[in-house]
């Protein structure tokens, strides 16, 4: 004997709340009308767990499952760190670093002349350089990526140039920057520009090449003019790739800025690290490592969040 289950959509006008996911079933042969009023977020196949008791404790277990491993990892790192600190003697341990950090972050925004400023100012100065260099890289790299993706002639023309220059450390460009701009500050920004531009160009170009042919066919059938093809189809389709390029660029830019500032001096987290080394304040260097890590992590997470916002499929 077989059972026929007829599923009907609930009329939208009558019950707007249930209209999304609710379905109504009639088990025809059994002569029992089964009404499945399932909330939108739960699919019929997985509706069973609703009946299970103890949802609160389950949630607590999920929470612990998510939180305990990272906490263990951090604890392990702190343990290793204090072990190394006691063994070597000249590297400050977690306790000493914490005390120094408390004093340092009590007043992160002080100014005693150009070479003695709070750590907050140093971080902001570095972020500003990254922002400017990266901004120029985006302004040039994104349109260039579009061109390289759209015209294979351009792609083949620029391919040898990019292949040759991309593996070069951006710091190798620092002297050229100093020569051209005559000042240290724009030279550091220039290295950021150089290291940011490659991922922007390459990812944008790849995005343009990967726009599904289906979408372009839609544009052709609708007869969309080129301007609309760019704004309504190419740009939204390429955006996720572009954001990947931006994320990679910012990541390397944040790596490079520390090294560049060590060489150029001035205000900035990289210079600050070097300055504290000259002052032999090793605990400040350890703090700087954490600050650089946290800022880099925050930048990455921000861009990931942005990327998720603009990913259309499987959202």
Partner 1 sequence: MKPLVKIENIGQTFNTKSGKFTALRDINLDISQGEVVSLIGHSGCGKSTLLNLIAGLTLPTSGVLLCADREIPGPGPERAVVFQNHSLLPWMTCFGNVMLGVEQVFGRKEGKVKLRARVEAALEMVHMAHAMHKYPHEISGGMKQRIGIARAFAMEPKNPVDGRALRCTRCPDPRVLAG
Residue closer to partner 1, measured from CB, 279 or 311:
311
Give the total of residues touching partner 1 (CB under 8 A): 21
Q: What's the chain's length in residues? A: 315
To partner 1, the closest distance from the beta carbon of 34 in angstroms equals 21
To partner 1, the closest distance from the beta carbon of 224 in angstroms equals 6
Residue closer to partner 1, measured from CB, 169 or 311:
311
To partner 1, the closest distance from the beta carbon of 6 in angstroms equals 14
**φ, ψ (nearest 5 deg) of residue 27:** -80, 100
To partner 1, the closest distance from the beta carbon of 214 in angstroms equals 4
Residue closer to partner 1, measured from CB, 147 or 237:
237
Angle between helices 119-150 and 282-309 (to 10 degrees): 40
Radius of gyration of the chain (CA): 28
b/e code 6-40 from CB counts within 10 Å (16+ = b): eeeebeeeeeeebeebbbbebeeeeeeeeeeebee
**For residues 133 and 186, is the Cβ–Cβ distance under 8 A?**
no
Residue closer to partner 1, measured from CB, 21 or 135:
21
Rounded CA separation 289/188 (Å): 20
Contacts of partner 1 in 19-38 (CB under 8 A): 19
Residue closer to partner 1, measured from CB, 37 or 83:
37
Contacts of partner 1 in 161-220 (CB under 8 A): 214-215, 217-218, 220
Residue closer to partner 1, measured from CB, 31 or 226:
226
To partner 1, the closest distance from the beta carbon of 300 in angstroms equals 24
DSSP states of 218-272: HHHHHT--HHHIIIIIIHHHHHHHHHHHHHHHHHHHHHHHHHHHHHH-SSSHHHH
Nearest one of 171, 221, 222 to 195, comparing CA atoms = 171
Three-class SS state of 93 = coil
Interaction mask 214-243, partner 1, x per CB under 8 A: xx-xx-xxxxx---x---xx--xx------
Query: Which range touches partner 1 (CB under 8 A), out of 12-20, 45-53, 57-65, 291-299?
Result: 12-20
To partner 1, the closest distance from the beta carbon of 211 in angstroms equals 11
**For residues 249 and 199, is the Cβ–Cβ distance under 8 A?**
yes
> What is the binding site for partner 1 (CB under 8 A)?
12-13, 19, 214-215, 217-218, 220-224, 228, 232-233, 236-237, 312-315
């Amino acid at each position: 004997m077989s059972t026929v289950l007829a599923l009907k959509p609930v009329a939208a006008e009558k019950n707007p709340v249930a209209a999304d996911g609710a379905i109504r079933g009639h088990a025809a042969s059994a002569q029992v009308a089964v009404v499945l009023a399932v909330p939108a977020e739960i699919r019929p196949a997985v509706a069973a767990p609703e009946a299970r008791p103890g949802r609160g404790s389950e949630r607590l277990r999920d929470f612990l499952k998510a939180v305990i491993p990272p906490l263990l990892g951090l604890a392990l790192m702190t343990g290793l760190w204090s072990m190394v600190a006691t063994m070597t003697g000249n590297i400050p341990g977690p306790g000493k670093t914490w005390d120094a950090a408390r004093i340092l972050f009590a007043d992160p925004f002080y100014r005693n002349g150009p070479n003695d400023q709070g750590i907050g100012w140093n971080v902001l100065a570095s972020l500003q350089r990254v922002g400017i260099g990266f901004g120029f890289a985006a302004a040039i790299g994104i349109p260039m990526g579009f061109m390289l993706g759209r015209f294979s002639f351009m792609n083949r023309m620029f391919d040898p140039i990019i292949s040759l220059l991309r593996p070069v450390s951006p710091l190798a460009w620092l002297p050229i920057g100093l020569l051209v701009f005559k000042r240290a500050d724009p030279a550091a920004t220039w290295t950021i520009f150089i290291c940011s531009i490659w991922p922007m160009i390459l990812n944008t170009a790849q995005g343009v090449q990967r726009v599904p042919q289906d979408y372009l066919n839609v544009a052709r059938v609708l007869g969309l003019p080129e301007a609309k093809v760019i704004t309504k189809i190419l740009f939204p389709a390429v955006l996720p790739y572009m954001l990947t390029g931006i994320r990679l660029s910012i990541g390397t830019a944040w790596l490079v800025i520390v090294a560049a500032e060590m060489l150029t001096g001035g205000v900035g987290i990289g210079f600050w690290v070097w300055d504290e080394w000259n002052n032999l304040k090793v605990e400040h260097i350890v703090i700087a490592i954490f600050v650089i890590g946290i800022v880099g992590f925050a930048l990455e997470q921000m861009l990931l969040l942005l990327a998720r916002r603009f990913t259309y499929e499987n959202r």
